[in-house]
Amino acid sequence: MYQNTKNPMATVSLCSVCARQLTGTPPNVDQSWKCSVCFGIMDPEYINGVANAVKAALDSNQYDSQSFVLALNVPVSVMLREAIFAHLRKAGDVENKGSLESVPFKTRMVDAYIGKLKAITGLRPTLNSLLTLTITFANVEFNVADSRFLLKHFGTDFVPNRKLKRYEQLKPLETNFTKVRISNLLSKITSDIASDYNWVSPTEPCTYSFTFERAPLFIASRYCKYSRSLPQSPWTASEEIPKIEGNSVSEKIAAVLKNELKCDSTRFIACGREDVDVRMLGNGRPFVVQCINPHLTQKLTGKNLSGTLKSLEEIINADKDISLGCNLKVVTADEVEALKVDQEEKRKCYTAYCYSTEAIDNDKLSTLSSLTPLEIIQKTPVRVLKRRSLLERKRTIFLMESLKVDDYHFLLRLETQAGTYVKEFVHGDFGRTRPSLAELIGLSCKADVDILELDVEYVDMQWPPS
């Protein structure tokens, strides 16, 4: 036993690895998981078991990476004990003849695991791989005792002070025992504080879990939509009506990429959206699909890239309801931000086939083009009030062109500021849009004008980036 000289009752029990590396003395536990410092995490047999479990998971998850970055998460009690043990060692309370006595525990741990993982999995450890292996070791049996120790010596530096919310103060003490909070206290530990720590061996081995995570891929293009019953994202007209799986632009495109790259999930990001009954024509609406944790990425590198993208394009374009307005392109996360920036500064062009219940005066219809640019004020439309805040928005109509079809029908071409509610501009939305098209062409208050069919012709944005 390596006794604390200030408290003979406190002992530090070490496994063979920690004894050799930290003190240079024989081990004093019969099972490695009873080690008071590493909790058995450094035991070669334990490491071998973890590495074999990782290999089995890799074989079943089909990652095509040749390398990996290793991230290790240890129990919070291990972090605390390492810092305390270092003070005991400096004070001479334990032997200082270990082969690695000055090397941090995390460094010793990484060195022990990385070699075994490389040997068993065949993957090359590196600092810049797109695949990250995170192994988390868990043991919470000392959380309460360690929390009381820290409360005794650090008081309000450890628990919330009286100025914080009352509900947080009422939480169990051990909820404060987190890595972030402990990290802020480690530098404040002194030799006197360390000598007061009660070293108790674990009563059970650490559990472990691991995850693989690959950096996301971003694949961009523009989509055209030809159906008037296809939403951009999963949608239903009523909460009582279930959504139809796969019946949206985002699902149709993302499903192709997910199947090809074996992603865990995807996220569809577009420059605005059209209503379910509105077609998206021209060269399409800009979008990007974020492929989260893709398992197969080698096909998007080097000489494989163009062939893979072409194959994906052919699959997507085979759908009768949608097509791509340009080639697919792999973009960066920084480039994706351009899709989200200055949304309201972008312009969009529309063509609307309109109907009026009152005969149309062609002279007034022909004056529309002279009224632009036209600033309008729109309250949040009635049809979206349940999911949008009630606001007044100023929007600009940059261009209006019209063509009379007959006394009650006409075509309307608009170029508007992004975010303009075009349908509401035409019919007025019970006076919530001012002025409305109905007012501009001089219809009486009893007349109604509405859009029968609406198409988005163009979204003014350079996308994908050159």
Instruction: Give catalytic residues, as residue numbers.
Output: 275
Q: How many residues does the chain have?
A: 466
Look up residue 267 and give its amino acid. R
Based on DSSP, count helices (H) and strands (E) in the chain, helices before strands: 14, 17
Q: What is the DSSP string of 379-429?
A: EPPGGGTTTS---EEEEEEEEEEEEEEETTEEEEEEEEETT--HHHHHH-T
Question: What are residue 323's phi and psi, to 5 degrees?
Answer: -155, 170
Of 139, 138, 135, the closest CA to residue 52 belongs to: 135
Contact residues for 355 (Cβ-Cβ < 8 A; gap 6+): 408, 409, 449, 450, 451, 452
Distance between CA atoms of 194 and 466, rounded to whole angstroms? 60
Beta strands in 293-325 (DSSP E): 322-324
Interatomic CA distance for residues 21 and 112, integer angstroms: 12
Strand runs (DSSP E) across 164-216, as ranges?
Answer: 207-214
Helix %, strand %, coil % for the chain, to 5? 35, 25, 40
CA distance 245 to 428: 34
Q: Cβ contacts of residue 234 below 8 Å, gap of 6+?
A: 243, 245, 247, 248, 250, 251
User: Where is 260: in which H helix or E strand?
Assistant: helix 249-261
Cβ within 8 Å of residue 256, ≥6 positions away: 312, 315, 316
Which one-letter DSSP state was computed for residue 383? G
Helix axes 143-154, 76-90, angle to 10 degrees: 50
**Which pair of structure tokens corresponds to residue 438?**
């109905």
User: Locate tokens 């291990």: which residue?
Assistant: 78
- Exposure b/e, 159-174, CB count within 10 A at least 16 = b: beeeeeeeeeeeeeeb
Residue with tokens 């530096």: 157
184: nearest Cα among 311, 306, 298, 83: 83
Q: For residue 417, give the H/E element and its range.
A: strand 409-417
3-state secondary structure of 13: coil
